[in-house]
Amino acid sequence: MRPRPWRDHLPPGSSIDTPDLTARGSLPTAWAGVWGAHADRPLLYDAGAGPDARWVSAARFEEQTRRAAARFAELGLEAGDRVVWSMGSSLAAAVVNIGALRAGLVVVPANRLYTERELGHIVADVRPAAAVVDDPPRARWIEDASASAVPVLGPDLQVLRGVVPVDAARAAAVDAAPGDAPALIAYTSGTTGAPKGAVLTHANVLANSESVSLTWRWQPEDRLVHALPIFHGHGLCVALYTSLLVGASVVLLPSFDVDGVLDASDAHGATLFFGVPTMYHRIAASGRARELSRLRLAVSGSAPLAAELHGALERDAGTRVLERYGMTETLMTLSNPYDGERRAGTVGFPFPGVDAWIGEEPPPDAAVAREPAGTGVDAGTDAGTDAAEILVRGPTVFAGYWERPAASAERFAGSGWLRTGDMGSVDADGYVAIRGRRTDMVISGGYNVYPAEVEDALLAHPAVREVAVTGTPSDEWGEVVTAWVVADGPAPPAGDLLAFAAARLAPYKRPRQVHFVDALPRNAMGKVVRGALG
């Protein structure tokens, strides 16, 4: 099944072809042009700086990142060298990241919450030429994990550990990286095996920001309240990089809390907020949800947004949250439309330049030829009833896994199509709904059960705040459907939930076990870690 075509996202009267998304060569080249044209425009506000917080202009940020690029050159780093970057959300973190990209270095983002073992795996695997951290204990971890003497730098790019010869006369070639050069090596969450480094080129990240800005009508006048982890693709490639590309401004918060986001939105006249479902759930429960109505656009991603929560925010706050879908290997892939229905329980259709297909094998090229706007569902398909794997291709799809040719080959299905590992279905209007991960699928009595469908049914119960569905091994059934429930108040009898599900689901999809828990285990981006249940 084919979703609605990506041209349906374009503003009226606009025209674009896929090559246009990479025409500017690289983000550093495009950024430099934007900063030069709008030198006095406020760009970044570091709310974590407290009383010292000030707006940094485009000209000032250009100067700071150029100096960072020069500092990397002084320390002997060359284009193509890899730099582990493990910092919290701050102006200093943005300067280091952008400065490294301008110098042609390959940035390797690392979560500040990683344990010594997790960080050590990345360092040993990627073999960086340097690392930048804002927490001294991690400097020692990196040094211990490295097979060679890796210099570890602080936020000011001064050396914390290691001995580095400095050549102040050595100049940096700024903004010279070609589109096919690696820009980021972003490590996956490691849901199967050890985390792998996804290599994203300069063309990948540029195409992503060009496509997102077009789809969501991003303008220089926009102001984003940024409370996402800056190391993650959502917070880095979507929120920060795209803001810089269009010349918009960013209020950078050190972390998320409801009051901090809404107060900053009011104080700075924000127009945009991007979050994950957990954030929206907390906003909805805060009594301040109506303040979201001040924003032009509120976006949710990184995990499915419950249809019930989507409806509650529209009803109580007057906000139609725009849900989208992406992954480390593809960046932004599908989005509900900016103009038109933002359909609860779906992630819309492909971003400009992206082809998507719902099926076990890629289609013939003729089946996904460019066509005028209109429904993308093939005539004769039983749209919306069957789930299959989501396959995508386009200029945002990664180059492969770092030094893992076999793993890379497994992900590609031919003709540039990437197997996402996510299951989806297409409704009659061409909107895609995510039905869970292929690896999360429960097989009970020979039937495939997609956790997201069962979760959606249970979330309609008023006593259910959150739920995750897994499979429990069974000699009789292979697996039985098991629900892990966070109650909204006192836990109801498990039998009530089972009866509620029985009225909404086919017999083979119904939970046979219910466990009440205080909280669901989640990773840094709010995704439920199903492997930790049971």
pLDDT number for residue 525: 65
For residues 254 and 49, what is the distance between their CA atoms, to the nearest angstrom? Answer: 9
- For residue 13, what pLDDT band results from cuts at 50, 70 and 90? confident
Query: Can you tell me the distance from the alpha carbon of 44 to that of 56, in angstroms, rounded to the nearest whole number?
Result: 5
pLDDT at residue 366 is higher than 90: no
State what percent of residues in the chain have pLDDT above 90. 69
Q: Which of 185-194, 257-266, 401-410, 431-440 has the lowest mean pLDDT?
A: 185-194
Q: What is the pLDDT of residues 292-328, one digit of tens each?
A: 999 999 999 987 888 889 999 999 889 999 999 999 9
Lowest mean pLDDT among 52-56, 127-131, 184-188, 277-281: 277-281
pLDDT > 90? residue 84: yes
Q: Which two tokens stand for residue 253?
A: 């918060």
Q: Is 165 left (phi over 0), alpha (psi -120 to 50) or beta?
A: beta
Better pLDDT: 445 or 311: 311
Distance separating alpha carbons of residues 264 and 74, to the nearest angstrom: 38
Nearest to 323 by CA among 293, 354, 344: 344
Lowest mean pLDDT among 192-201, 258-267, 386-395, 436-445: 436-445
Q: What pLDDT shows up at residue 155?
A: 96
Q: What is the pLDDT of residue 523?
A: 78
104-116 pLDDT, tens digit per residue, is 999 999 988 888 8
DSSP string, 284-348: HHTT-GGGGGGSSEEEE-SSPPPHHHHHHHHHHH----EEEEEETTTEEEEE--SSS---TT---
